[in-house]
Structure 1
C-alpha cells in the first residue's frame, strides 16, 4: 500500500473529513469573533460530551421547527419519508439506518427527536 492510500485509510478510519466538515459547519453557523478559540472550545465540548451527552448542535428546537414547517408546506402536521431523508442529508446526517417505510409519515416531534439523536450519534463517533 502506498503512502497516499495509507493516509486516506487513516483519515477515513478516524473520521477526520467528517469531523472537519462538522467543525466547519459549526464555525460558519456561529461565526465567532475568535474562530481558533471557538474550534478549541468545540473540540473540548465534544470530548466532554462523551460523558454528559451535551454535544454542540447546529440546530436548536426553533431551527428544527422552522425546517419542519418549511417541509410541511400544506400544514398537515407531518412530512413524507423522502422529505425527511432530504432534510437529514442537507444537515449532513446519515440516512442509511432509517427504519421507516416509504408509506410512513414523520411528525414534528419524531423529526426533532430523530435529528437530535443523529447529531449526538455523529458527534459521539469522533
Structure 2
C-alpha cells in the first residue's frame, strides 16, 4: 500500500477517534484508541516503538519512543496541545531521519476539527 493511501486510512481513523472523544484528553488516551482502531481495520501497528540513535558507529538507547508506527512505514506523533509549534515539526523530522522512514503524521487532537491539527511530513 502506498504511503498516501495508508495515511488516508490513518487520517480517517484519527477523525473517527476525535469525533467520538472530542478534544481535551491526554495524548495517551488518543494513542490507545487510535491504536485499537488501526488494529481493528487490519493494519500492523507498533505502539511506543523504541528509536535508537546511531552515533559514531554506536547504537545508543536514549529513551526515544515513537507513539505509533503503522505498517512499518508511517510514524504517528500524537499531541494534545493548544497549538502545534515548530518544535513538534522538528521532532517529527528528526524521528523520520533517525528511523529511515519517509512519511510521518503529526496529529494534534486538542482542536475543534481534527483537520486543523494534521500535518503530513515527508523526509
- TM-score where L is the length of structure 1: 0.29
Query: Greater share of strand residues, 1 or 2?
Result: 2
- TM-score where L is the length of structure 2: 0.29
Larger radius of gyration: 1
